Structure 1
Amino acid sequence: MVVKAATVRTIQKNVLIYCIVIAGLIWTLFPVYWMVKTSFTPNEHMYASKPALIPTEVTAQHYVDLFNETEFMGNIKNSLYVSGLATLVSLVISIFGSYSLTRLKFKGRDFLVKSIIICYLMPAAVLFIPMYVLVSKLGFADNKFGLLIIYPTFIVPYCCYMLLSYFKAIPKSLEQAALIDGCSRLQTLWKIILPIAAPGIAVVATFAFTMSWNEFLYALVVTTSPSQQTATIGIASFKFSDTFIWGLLMSSSVIASIPAAVLYLGAQSFVIGGLADGGAKY
């Protein structure tokens, strides 16, 4: 009887867990489903008082209009260009900065570590006016290159904060052995630290790219011409006052979701392992 009671409790526990997981999955995926479904819904069914959960009629006209009558694909290219370069530049700076903060001893080291955390927590709304003034004086107003100056200011603190944990978890004895064998500091970083920290770097790069890809405020302030704007601004342009062009809004949102989704799918093994390894606190 005791065994049967324990078995029943185990089954009940597993059923409860699965119900919670399924409910969370539906809660998470339903907005994505509705976005995709709406992007294929004809205009005559778009504004029905009781929209159908499963569409009875589909159309690709919204995507045709998006590709042929708007500049949204140019916005996607701008986002790819800006996000890719900003992520690359920020990673290079963060790798050297995090390595020096975890391996070298110098005056003001602890202050720099705390400053990184403060910079990471600084709200973008506080800085967008001085950032716009800086970019304007440099001659990059209404230019996507201005975003390449701004984005590292919040990506680098994030990358450094994460990489500090990854680098600190690597035993110093490995580097000491490499230094004894004649490697320089740079060779040690390249041949020892980076290969070991590769999963963590992949995680940081994934989130850094996502931060750049999803950024809206600075892109809205700095760029005004459609040819210079990023995907987030392109999506917002399909809303006029209180009028929403839902077909273009949803189809553009689907297109804009693809790069980030592909990146996460490709790096998911690194993300899971890297998040676990990055749990160490500096």
Structure 2
Amino acid sequence: MKIVTYNVNGIRARLPRFLEYIEEQKPDVLCLQELKCADESFPAAEVAATGYKAIFHGQKGFNGVAILTRDGEPVLRRMGLPGDPDDTHSRYIEAEVGDLVIASLYLPNGNPVGTEKFAYKLAWMERLREHALALLAEERPVVLAGDWNVVPTDEDVFSPKAMAHDALLQPETRAAYRTILHQGWTDAIRARHPEGAIYTFWDYTAGCWQRDAGFRIDHLLLSPSAADRFLDAGVDKEYRGREKASDHAPTWVTLEG
């Protein structure tokens, strides 16, 4: 089973690239982030024409997450994280997919540091930590997939110095991510590629793609019983280089079953 996380950076703007990816790679499960459209604007007909079934949690112009499945239908478990009933951001969706629990998440960026945006990022990560712990308590195969907006280590970025003041690399951000990881989750990419630069995002500016000045912020975390089924993980990097592509590359894990 191939499970992909893909920040599409506007599903309507990138629809040809998105449909191209589905046709060429045929992932079993596709977790999307940054739909940037309200629910009524989601390209439901185009997705249905591919044979995929979708659940989505949209927001006009910002955020937005979805889970698509090739066989069977995703069964919605929840939209939004618990802990803040007034949270208006569409950043989390969770579903049953066969015997798996799969979440698509879009963690807040948090820039600039020192503002309410950074405080919101850390508060959101605390809510995610609590929910991740509850998911582990179910003792089921769970995949937390998405754009985490966290660069876990200096090895995951082209230049720690150039990014030193970015919210994605702050000690508080990294500590919050490690706290979740150390609950017992497995970082799928690092399970397959324990060392070396593996990037999932390249900014549109300053020739970042051409210079391979990227960083790794798209992660798939596996619960212990999901990690027991781990086969492989990687990044479909070449899709980032296509015309009018997202600034993220699809990132994936394959599991038995």
TM-score, normalization by structure 1: 0.22
- Structure scoring higher RCO (CA < 8 A, sep ≥ 6) equals 1
**Structure ID, larger Rg:** 1
Structure with the bigger percentage of helix: 1
Structure with the bigger percentage of strand: 2
